[in-house]
Amino acid sequence: MAQSEQAEGFQFVCVTCKKKFKRSQQLQYHSRTHTGEKPFSCDICQKSFSRQDVLKLHMRVHTKEYPFSCAVCQQKFRYKQNLMVHNRVHTGEKPFSCDICQKSFSQKYNLEQHKLIHTGERQYSCSICRQTFICKSDLNRHVKTHSGEKPFSCDICKKSFSRKSVLKKHKMIHTEEYPFSCSMCHKAFKHKVYLDMHIRTHTGEKSFSCDVCQKSFSKKCALNNHKLIHTGECPFSCSICKTAFNDRSNLKKHIKTHMHN
């Protein structure tokens, strides 16, 4: 193996981990992962980087430069890698698969977060109520329920949101844009999540299963409602007579009995 690497030109060796490189510059970059050296600093925010090319990419944060544009929906991106990941929204490509349940993802990070479901690890904890979460993003969303913070506002209707991604989806209401289309019946949707749910009406896929009785559902919200049967929880209460229900649809039916009376 060592002879093969030497023949291919891997002559520069890291003294710390013995990893081999073809060029001295590659070894120099790699060595900084061990030393923590970051000699290139942004003169605007003082953030430091181990490589000059990474600093150059970082400067787009300050210049507001978005040089990469999606050919399908014209959404713009700072970095080519972000555009490549975004393109999978249109192509449906999901190259990262879970080796336990075979569920596929468009991003490696999403796969890594998904795997925590199988391990049961919940490493992120709310400092206010101690509720734990599998993903840091879930914790960040949860924290805003305590603060009530909604820093992202729609410039058309002024409605505010706690997350930028939700604001972005909301704006499609005003544009009447339906960028996600079903390849089977050509029905169009504003959001990909609605398209994904719709496709299951064609495939019959029910990927959300109850861990108590193993009943399966095509929608996660339907599974969550079903689980209330096992817990006995009745979170939907009538404002008139205080009768409680475990399903919102049952509450709506019940309210009509007051209206008729």
What's the alpha-carbon Rg for the chain, to the nearest Å? Answer: 25
Report the top-level CATH class of 2-63.
Answer: alpha beta
Confidence at residue 1, expressed as pLDDT on a 0 to 100 scale:
45
Say whether pLDDT at 4 is over 60. Answer: no
Q: Using one digit for the tens of pLDDT, what is the confidence trace for 38-68?
A: 999 999 999 999 888 889 888 988 988 999 9
Domain boundary assignment for the chain: 2-63, 71-149
Confidence at residue 2, expressed as pLDDT on a 0 to 100 scale:
47
- The mean pLDDT of the chain is 86
The residue-averaged pLDDT of 131-140 equals 83
Say whether pLDDT at 10 is over 50. Answer: yes
**Residue of 30, 29, 8 lying closest to 19 (CA atoms):** 30
Asked if 88 and 94 touch (Cβ cutoff 8 Å), the reply is: yes
Architecture of the domain defined by 71-149:
2-Layer Sandwich (3.30)
Q: Using one digit for the tens of pLDDT, what is the confidence trace for 213-235?
A: 988 888 888 888 888 888 888 88
**Residue of 112, 114, 115, 139 lying closest to 126 (CA atoms):** 139
pTM, 2 dp: 0.43
Same CATH topology for 2-63 and 71-149?
yes
